Amino acid sequence: RKEVEQDPGPFNVPEGATVAFNCTYSNSASQSFFWYRQDCRKEPKLLMSVYSSGNEDGRFTAQLNRASQYISLLIRDSKLSDSATYLCVVNEEGRNAGKSTFGDGTTLTVKP
Which residues are near another protein by CB under 8 A?
Answer: 31-32, 34, 41-46, 49, 87, 89, 91, 93, 97-100, 102-105
Q: How far is the CB of 21 from another protein (least distance, A)?
A: 15
Q: Select 9 or 17, whichever has its Cβ closest to another protein.
A: 9
Cβ proximity to another protein: between 61 and 105 the closer is: 105
- For another protein, give the closer residue by CB, 80 or 97: 97
Q: Which amino acid is at 90?
A: V
Q: What's the Cα-to-Cα distance from 15 to each of 12, 21, 77, 106, rounded to whole Å? A: 10, 17, 7, 18
CA distances 17 to 11, 22, 47, Å, are 11, 17, 19
CB of 65 to another protein, least distance (A): 18
**Nearest approach, Cβ of 9 to another protein (angstroms)?**
13
The H or E element that residue 55 is part of is: strand 55-57
User: φ and ψ at 27, to 5 degrees?
Assistant: -90, 110
